[in-house]
Amino acid sequence: MSGLHVFPSRRIRLTPFTERVEACHVTSYTVYNHMLLPSIFVSLEDDYHHLKAHVQLWDVSAQRQVEISGPEARRLVVMLSARDLRNARPGRCYYTPITDYHGRMLNDPLILCLDENRFWLSIADSDLLLWVKALAGALGLDVQIHEPDVSPLAVQGPKATQAMERVFGAEIAKVPFFHWRPFPFKGRPLIISRSGWSKQGGFEIYLDDHSMGPELWDALWQAGQDLQIRAGGPNLIERIESGLLSYGGDITRDDTPLECGLAAYCDLDAHEFIGRNALLRQREQGITRRLVGIRLEGKGLPQLRQAWRCQYNHRDAGIVTTIIWSPDFATNLGYAMLAAHVPIHEWVEILTPIGTKRAEICALPFVKIPQ
């Protein structure tokens, strides 16, 4: 992929932190919600080792917010969410599958309940704003919907709390996982949640004034100097080791949450929501395919750019959605959407660009096998 640059254009939006990110020598971007999302600084493996040992600043502005407010905001959020959010409480964050009328995934945001009738859907890579606006308009709901000037900056890694305490005070350490609280920065209260797209611990700061991007970055950068702070981004190796799924990669709009292992986030017996009837039918009939883990020995696989076909007993059985070498597990780890009849611990053949390889199916999350 060397030499394949991102062509500059206003359509691929910069973030409040892009200047700082580029000063830190970002080497690889992805595009996410029409915005630059830094992927690599030193190298995938170097960034990974650093993330698991120290603390990183991640420009995740591309996690845009869909803000829903107004008298019927809660009603609309409940209608949208497979998870039962009738009793969502201010101060909490909820990971929530959002499905279409056929129960297929449109996005899997973290939903922040800001107030009784005000919510942020912190979205994965699809224009959920269009879905929400269309529903509100067609159903004549009394709500306002827009994408606010909010750009999350994530602080991730085992030393994240230390770095954050120095900027926001000791109280930050008391915020529980998937809760948010307001903390002042230069006189402006910022929403900060204990969350993030790694399992190394950390926070997301929802900066709601883009002009303050550089000073927020610099304050954390300064505070983290002796903690070996570096710029980073969601890391492919770490997120797979940790069992995190990527919408658009592992989950697509052809898949239901039940197929993706997200049944725990679908309160099918609790409330009415869009897609519920289809999901009730699928639960009743049983799923015919499911997302599983795979392990594949040996270094040297090329990086996956499109689904690789899988065979079981010489018949097509599904696809690999992502796979990468894990230094910690000393094997390649990945995900596959496979026919439900392929049992865990069975072996499948994967048609990789460098030939057919045998891989073992495993349950998620991944468990380290003692060497």
Binding site for its own copies (CB under 8 A): 1-14, 26-31, 34, 39-40, 100-101, 106, 125-135, 137-139, 236, 246-250, 253, 274, 303-307, 321-322
CB-count burial class (<10 Å; 0-12, 13-18, 19+) for 336: buried
Least CB distance to its own copies at residue 8 (A) = 5
Q: Give all strands (DSSP E) within 74-115, no chain letters.
A: 93-95, 98-99, 105-107, 110-115
Of 130 and 344, which has the nearer Cβ to its own copies?
130
How many CB atoms are located within 10 Å of the residue 27 CB? Answer: 11
Q: Buried b vs exposed e over 298-313: b needs ≥16 C-beta within 10 Å?
A: eeebeebeeebebebe
Least CB distance to its own copies at residue 31 (A) = 4
Of 183 and 247, which has the nearer Cβ to its own copies?
247
Least CB distance to its own copies at residue 41 (A) = 11
Which residue in this structure is represented by tokens 């209608």?
A: 79
How would DSSP label each residue in 149-161?
Answer: S-EEEEEESTTHH
Cis omega before residue 109 (within 30°)? Answer: no
Least CB distance to its own copies at residue 5 (A) = 5
Angle between helices 73-80 and 128-139 (to 10 degrees): 120
- Nearest to 228, CA basis, from 43, 17, 18, 46: 46
Least CB distance to its own copies at residue 319 (A) = 9
Of 192 and 255, which has the nearer Cβ to its own copies?
255
DSSP for residue 171: G
Of 40 and 172, which has the nearer Cβ to its own copies?
40
Of 104 and 230, which has the nearer Cβ to its own copies?
104
Least CB distance to its own copies at residue 76 (A) = 11
Instruction: Report d(CA 289, CA 342) in Å as an integer.
Output: 9
Of 45 and 346, which has the nearer Cβ to its own copies?
45
